[in-house]
């Protein structure tokens, strides 16, 4: 089937409605068999649990077109597992890993003509999500839920190459209420919106959140984990049980160790140490790695010697290797690549 006619290089990162979405409903203690539907609208009771108490979790992953026309997704099993963890933390019923991967397969295959061509820099973004649907007024979990996956093509995250960004050390507390920082839930994002708008108003691209308990250690930004490169070429990344366990970060750590022969340290990183690093990047599914050129800590600039004008050399190697694996150009570790059967 030939692709839809879109200007792939210029579609940006926004919602474009596609042909089909996957839906499954949970009722009377069980998920139904699920199906694909053409209807992009969700009609809910006015008192639905998600509308009252924000009982909703989500995931994000991408499907890529290879040079020989196949369609690949990257480690969807990890998204499935993380969504189960997120759901449990918000007292929602888990959607099994097998069902999740089956739903990914079906929804991508049904929208294959929206998977951007190889080399365009664009990809198909998948957004699995789940929310409480039945009326809830007393504070308690819903008893009925809907699981959905929508897909939308997204353009290259960086138009004209990755330009390093400037971030500030945030005075706002951790985006996520304590104890929910390690789950992917809309409530954490809602709590971060004010800090993001404020950062943008002050001319910064992002917030660096510190641990909310001591305000001493680096945590993450609103939607991406940090990686740092030391002057002697080690990869260092924050150890914390209140940051979201990024799949991109886990993959980059593996690539650093096993493909690039680098040392990797996951440990607490005091803010005072940040000025010692050679490179800094933000990692997540959307951009893979966004290089950070400068961190501003209350009027003091911390500039990274590599990466003020372009991605630093080690960050670039990590980026090229991981994206090569994701696009099927570089051989992947066992189980990382999941091919969609068409």
What residues are annotated to the active site?
184
63 binds ligand PLP, rule: CB under 6 A: no
Applying CB under 6 A, among 168, 220, 253, 319 the residue interacting with ligand PLP is 220
CA 227 centroid distance within chain: 15
86 membership: H or E segment, kind and range: helix 76-89
Applying CB under 6 A, among 55, 225, 237, 306 the residue interacting with ligand PLP is 225
224 binds ligand PLP, rule: CB under 6 A: yes
Comparison of 56 and 248: residue with beta carbon closer to ligand PLP: 248
Applying CB under 6 A, among 246, 290, 315, 326 the residue interacting with ligand PLP is 246
285: nearest Cα among 126, 147, 160: 126
| 295 close to 280: Cβ distance less than 8 angstroms | yes
247: nearest Cα among 272, 225, 275, 221: 225
Q: State the binding string over 263-292 for ligand PLP (x if CB under 6 A, else -).
A: --------------------xxx-------
Q: Strand, helix or coil at 99?
A: helix
Query: Which residues lie below 8 Å from residue 43, measured CB to CB, with a gap of 6+?
Result: none
180 binds ligand PLP, rule: CB under 6 A: no
Comparison of 48 and 269: residue with beta carbon closer to ligand PLP: 269
Tell me how far, at minimum, the Cβ of 225 lies from ligand PLP, in Å: 5
Beta strands 235-238 and 264-267: pairing type? parallel
Comparison of 224 and 325: residue with beta carbon closer to ligand PLP: 224
Tell me how far, at minimum, the Cβ of 27 lies from ligand PLP, in Å: 28
Query: Which residues lie below 8 Å from residue 291, measured CB to CB, with a gap of 6+?
Result: 162, 163, 164, 165, 279, 280, 281, 307, 310, 311, 312, 315
Task: Could you list the beta-strand ranges (E) of the chain.
Answer: 21-27, 30-31, 35-37, 56-58, 61-65, 71-74, 123-132, 145-154, 165-169, 206-208, 225-229, 235-238, 264-267, 279-284, 288-297, 300-303, 337-339
Question: Which of the stretches 122-130, 239-247, 269-277, 290-298 binds ligand PLP when contact is defined by CB under 6 A?
Answer: 239-247
| 169 close to 144: Cβ distance less than 8 angstroms | no
CA 230 centroid distance within chain: 25
Footprint of ligand PLP on residues 31-60 (CB under 6 A)?
60
Applying CB under 6 A, among 107, 244, 256, 280 the residue interacting with ligand PLP is 244
Comparison of 121 and 135: residue with beta carbon closer to ligand PLP: 121
247 binds ligand PLP, rule: CB under 6 A: yes
Tell me how far, at minimum, the Cβ of 257 lies from ligand PLP, in Å: 17
Comparison of 149 and 247: residue with beta carbon closer to ligand PLP: 247
- How many of the chain's residues bind ligand PLP (CB under 6 A)? 14
177 binds ligand PLP, rule: CB under 6 A: no
Question: Which of the stretches 18-26, 145-153, 221-229, 266-274 binds ligand PLP when contact is defined by CB under 6 A?
Answer: 221-229
- 230 vs 250: CA distance, rounded Å: 18
Chain residues binding ligand PLP by CB under 6 A are: 60, 184, 220, 223-225, 244, 246-249, 283-285
């Amino acid at each position: 089937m030939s692709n839809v006619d879109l200007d792939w290089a210029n579609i940006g990162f926004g919602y474009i409605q596609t042909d089909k979405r996957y839906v499954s409903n949970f009722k009377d203690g069980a998920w139904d068999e699920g199906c694909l539907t053409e209807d992009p609208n969700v009609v809910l009771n006015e008192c639905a649990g998600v509308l009252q108490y924000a009982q909703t979790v989500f995931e994000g992953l991408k499907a890529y077109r290879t040079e020989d026309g196949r369609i690949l997704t990257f480690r969807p099993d990890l998204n499935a597992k993380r969504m189960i963890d997120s759901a449990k933390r918000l007292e929602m019923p888990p959607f099994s890993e097998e069902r999740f991967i089956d739903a990914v397969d079906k929804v991508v295959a049904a929208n294959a003509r929206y998977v951007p061509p190889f080399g365009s820099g664009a990809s198909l973004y998948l957004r699995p999500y789940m929310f409480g649907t039945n009326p809830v007024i007393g504070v308690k979990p819903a008893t009925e839920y809907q699981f959905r996956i929508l897909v939308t093509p997204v353009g290259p995250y960086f138009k004209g190459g990755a330009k390093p960004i400037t971030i500030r050390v945030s005075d706002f507390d951790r985006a996520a209420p304590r104890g929910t920082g390690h789950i992917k839930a809309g409530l954490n994002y809602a709590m971060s919106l004010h800090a993001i708008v404020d950062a943008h108003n002050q001319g910064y691209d992002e917030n660096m959140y510190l641990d909310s308990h001591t305000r001493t250690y680096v945590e993450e930004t609103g939607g991406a984990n940090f990686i740092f490169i030391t002057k002697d070429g080690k990869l260092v990344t924050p150890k914390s049980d209140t940051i979201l366990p990024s799949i991109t970060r886990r993959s980059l750590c593996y690539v650093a160790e096993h493909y690039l022969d680098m040392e990797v340290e996951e440990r607490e990183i005091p803010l005072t140490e940040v000025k010692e690093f050679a490179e800094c990047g933000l990692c997540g599914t959307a951009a893979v790695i966004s290089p950070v050129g400068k961190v501003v800590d209350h009027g003091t600039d911390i500039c990274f010697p590599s990466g003020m004008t372009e991605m630093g050399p080690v960050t670039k190697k990590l980026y090229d290797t991981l994206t090569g694996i994701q696009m099927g150009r570089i051989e992947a570790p066992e189980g990382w690549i999941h091919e969609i059967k068409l």
